[in-house]
Chain A
């Protein structure tokens, strides 16, 4: 019998007010996720939630039976950012998600999770990081289920595989803040304007095709990646953890739909139809099927029949 994957909630990629964040995790404490990743991963200037505030949320979620993992910044430049990183890495209680090789270095010899911004494309990389202490890794979002199958055959014993399965895709990181640029503000006087865009700021091509989402220094897909229709394959590939990336509305509903599909209370096709109505722009799943990321396989298949 194949093992049932656990459900995780990734870190909030956006800048939400403190009360919104706290209320969000109060609801998550009651939801059927097993693992919750907490912390700021995008911009060190976002300061609504301080380290102690995150620890308080961690405490609350632990008490509710969730496994808590503290996430770290994906782009580390300033010494102040390294100092905050060291504090998280030496927290002594919670597992840490390393999102940069700097964090991997600081976690050497201790158990850690690697996030999707750490490039693990082959088994030699995975094996080396497992010897440094890696216990779980997030599969790169641009790779297909065929590459995942190859990796699953070769992964070291005791290493868990987590797959990003729902959310706007993380596509790029920059030193430039695109949200501040859109508001015509310099980055060093950004006025924390990304707080106005709880799902990122949608960017369109000149023909009005919604293409990307600007989230501070991060660029995401405008479309929401969704693998709820693939839960059977995820299970058969031996995926240990399925990750949902928070959005400003209906995240608990998304969690519930994934949970119901995993426990056979809901058909995956039905789950897919429900989730597609909850997305800011629409669905995509091209990467998973070895195509351009913005493609959607179901749709592409239908178009070839026309």
Chain B
């Protein structure tokens, strides 16, 4: 099983490689990828340097070009595909049908992965992308249960990669525009969810309020740590009750499911977090490398070690973790 780690910059890429990632995924410095944040990502020189560093150590580099170009932006995505191919990346991770079509036509030897933003939750959809564009791998949205993941893999014409750790989307990726409803910018149209440009922090008599695009996302009483106002993780009122109506501010951690993921035939596990620091990348990569190696040596005796969970807990959003949809008992 391949360990795929995030890198928002060269220092992160290097620590991911040094700590045992099998592949590192990166993005360009514009809206062609879904982590289009100021100060993040790779220009041409850094890409070349990153690829050289990784390849010298036997580690692959994937480039995410996983947003949806509109007609006016099309030349930028076309150039990004060409640039990735010319730089010698090991795969492009794309979501848009037009981008996949262009890449498969103009760079037939370029390995293509379907991004999680492509929203493929069933094997009929995977057949579409395989037959039209020859994709070799797909990343599944974080909404499927373990048995559903297994069923997709049994019928899938391509390798399957799943999210193992990091921030949790409770919505089907590629089909959520909550962010643009409040701000005008979404992962699909801009490459960012709940963008920092639209965040406000206000001290009020009710405590600290966080807003996104003017919408009140959360209120923190004195003394409580305030979190980033991701739209789907706020506290809202429904029928007179105030609660996390969509999702709690917790993150995904599937460390204890690792033997099941291996047994079901998952080809690669992905760590979320290109926007996170090199320290995060280093710690998470180290723990997951150790866990995968332990699971490989002795699958039957594998247990998620307490020290691993403690280490991961320190870098998790909201410091709490969940098995997400994977542990859903139904279906």
- A201-B239 in contact given A105-B125, A172-B175 (Cβ < 8 Å): yes
- A142-B177 in contact given A102-B128, A150-B72, A204-B237 (Cβ < 8 Å): yes
B6 CB to closest chain A CB (Å) equals 23
Q: How far is the CA of A203 from the CA of B241 in the complex (A)?
A: 10
Partner of B170, one of A141, A171, A174: A174
* A122 x B175 contact (CB < 8 A): no
* B74 x A122 contact (CB < 8 A): yes
* A150 x B182 contact (CB < 8 A): no
B280 within 8 A of A: no
Interface residues of B in 285-331 (CB under 8 A from A): 325, 328-331
B182 CB to closest chain A CB (Å) equals 6
B226 within 8 A of A: no
A63 CB to closest chain B CB (Å) equals 33
Partner of B148, one of A78, A122, A123, A221: A78
B281 within 8 A of A: no
Q: Which residue of A lies closest to B218 (CB)?
A: A206
* B124 proximity list for chain A (CB < 8 A): 76, 82, 85, 101-103, 105-106
B245 within 8 A of A: yes
* A203 x B151 contact (CB < 8 A): no
* B232 proximity list for chain A (CB < 8 A): 172
- Judged by DSSP, the binding face of B is mixed
* A100 x B125 contact (CB < 8 A): yes
B122 within 8 A of A: yes
B36 within 8 A of A: no
Partner of A128, one of B71, B119, B132, B189: B132
Residues of A near any B CB (own CB < 8 A): 74-79, 81-82, 85, 100-106, 108, 117, 119-125, 128-129, 140-143, 147, 150-151, 154, 169, 171-176, 178, 181-182, 186-188, 201-209, 211-212, 214, 219, 221, 286-287, 290-294
Sort A-B residue pairs by CB-CB distance and give the 8 closest, nearest first. Answer: A124-B98, A102-B124, A175-B143, A188-B330, A150-B71, A293-B181, A121-B68, A101-B125
In the assembled complex, 30 residue pairs joining A and B whose CB atoms fall closer than 8 Å, in A order, are A75-B175, A76-B122, A78-B148, A78-B331, A102-B128, A119-B119, A119-B175, A121-B68, A121-B98, A124-B98, A124-B101, A128-B98, A142-B180, A150-B71, A151-B71, A172-B178, A172-B232, A174-B143, A174-B246, A175-B145, A182-B238, A182-B239, A207-B216, A219-B178, A221-B181, A292-B180, A292-B183, A293-B181, A293-B184, A294-B213
